[in-house]
Structure 1
Amino acid sequence: MVELYEGIRLFFYREIANTGRLPSVADAADTLGVPEEWVWDGLDNLAADRHLVIDANGTIVLAFPFATRSFGFSVMGERTLWWGSCAIDSFSIPHIVDKEPWAVVATTCPACGAAHSWLVDRTGPPAGDQVVHFLVPMAKLWDDVIFTCENQRIFCSDRCLDDWLARTGHELGATTDIATLWRLAEHWYDGRLDTPYRRRDPVLATKYFAAKGLSGEFWGL
């Protein structure tokens, strides 16, 4: 069954990566040659292992770094258009989808609504003086992963971030610049579209953050 679940994971991930669209359970069952109930069971197991997030209607909402609805970021390649799960994930997509050498990541400032976009490729960080804000500490990321993703956003400036914090009542989380965001995204999902894939355990994830210059209590898992 482990092999089947990995096949199901790979099918959904590669379909979303290739088309930007969520395939159906029937498509997965037909392609893999298994009953649909086996696919549903596999999706439940993948969600339990934190590869996917499934809503109350049984729909895949997040297949990191991809989303199936807006979380504030669009990612437009030369041939494919995706939703990005959050700031890190949106910048990660061009790094893992080999057929797309670049993508335009677009969003709006949560404070003032100003539009921002970056041409993200694998050669180096794009220019930009915006402020990336992580509201939820990494150790609490999965307490409510939808909330976490919805609140990992990019602001025009510190002033916009301060205005948003004052309006929402949230406390300041952690901030980075665009160059650090690109470096953080560069290898975060290495191997995601290959098999076998293993998520980083908390120790390795914390070491990865530290290697990108992000350490301290907020980044500890």
Structure 2
Amino acid sequence: MDLEQLRVTVYETFARTGQAPEMADLAKSLNVPEHDVVAGLRELATSRHLVLDATDRIVMAHPFSAIPLGFSVMGASTLWWGGCAWDSFALPHLIPGQAPVVVATRCPGCGRALAWSVGTDEPPSGSEVAHFLVPTVHMWDDVVHTCGHQSLFCSESCVEVWLTRSGNERGYVMDLSTLWHFASDWYSGRLDYGYTRREPSEASDYLRKVGLSGAFWGL
């Protein structure tokens, strides 16, 4: 089983259709038995290229998501679930032919509908903020929970409302410009053969360059 071919096929399918490929379709496309596809997907999940559920179905292939986690991303011809604020802002950079995209969500603090046109040339305007709940050292403890709590809020006051209501402690808050710069290059090359994953804990120079700092990011 060619794991890199499997990985790229999964990512290309997400990029093209907005949906995760089915097991049978992967087996047919790669001309291998389905049990080999399952074994390959499990290996890719172990190396954090994918997230699988208990039945080995693909849940996430960052920045793509097969499940709704609070964001939608509409490109020129394709609609995706956005896995989180980070991944939603990353999609136009990974697939520039679809840019600009419309990123839509709802403020967890007040429930207000929010949307931005996100392109590749400059950050979207707006006073809204992103709040990341889970620090980098624990992001992969439960990656679906982590992504489900990387949200966009109307303001820091809405963040505080949500924290009080949910009982969570404050994580990391950044403005739209910082989020856009953070997301812009993080997944570069992910649709290409030979891509190497980058862990936040290993990317201190990149994080500092885009304006992120402190213990939350392991810096």
Alignment partner of 1:32 is 2:9: no
Paired residue for 1:157? 155
Taking the aligned partners of 1:121 and 1:198, their CA distance within structure 2 comes to: 25
Whether the aligned pair in 1 keeps the contact of 2:137 and 2:201 (CA below 8 Å) is: no
Residue 114 of structure 1 pairs with residue 100 of structure 2: no
Secondary structure of the residue aligned to 1:13 is: helix
2:89, 2:183 within 8 Å by CA — same for their partners in 1? yes
Q: Match of 2:88, as an amino acid?
A: S
Matched, 1:23 2:27: no
Secondary structure, aligned partner of 2:203? helix
CA deviations 1:127-171 (Å, max 9, x no partner) are: 010111010111111111111101000111111111110011100
Kindly provide the CA deviation profile for residues 99-148 of structure 1, in whole angstroms up to 9, marking residues without a partner as x.
21210000000111101111011110010101110101111111111111
Q: Could you say which residue in structure 2 is the equivalent of 1:77? A: 75
Q: 1:90 aligns with which of 88, 91, 97?
A: 88
Aligned to 2:134: 136
- Letter of the aligned partner of 1:181 in structure 2? L
Residue type of the alignment partner of 1:140: H
Whether contact under 8 Å (2:89, 2:103) holds in the other structure is: yes
**What is the CA–CA distance in structure 1 between the aligned matches of 2:205 and 2:136, rounded to whole Å?**
13
Query: Cα distance, 1:98 vs. partner?
Result: 3.2
The aligned residue for residue 42 of structure 1 is 40
Cα shift readout 1:42-71 (whole Å, capped 9, x = no counterpart): 000000000111111222111100101111
Amino acid at match of 1:92: A
Q: Distance in 1 between matches of 2:148 and 2:200?
A: 22
Alpha-carbon offset, residue 6 of structure 1: 0.7
What's the RMSD between the two structures over aligned residues? Answer: 1.2
Q: Deviations over 1:70-121 (max 9, x none)?
A: 1101000010000111111000000011321210000000111101111011
Residues in 1 aligned to 2:210 and 2:100: alpha-carbon distance in whole angstroms: 22
One-letter amino acid matched to 1:107: T
Gaps of 5+ in 1: none
Q: What residue number does 1:6 align with?
A: 4
Instruction: State the 1:187 CA deviation.
Output: 0.1
Could you say what secondary structure the match of 1:154 adopts?
strand
Assess if the C-alpha contact under 8 Å between 2:200 and 2:217 holds in 1.
no
Report the counterpart of residue 196 of structure 1 in structure 2: 194
CA contact (8 A) 2:101 2:119 kept: yes
User: Matched residue of 2:147: which SS?
Assistant: helix
Gap runs ≥5 in structure 2: none
1:123 equivalent among 110, 121, 124? 121
Q: Secondary structure at the match of 1:107?
A: strand
Instruction: Give % identity.
Output: 51
CA shift, 1:200, in A, is 1.5
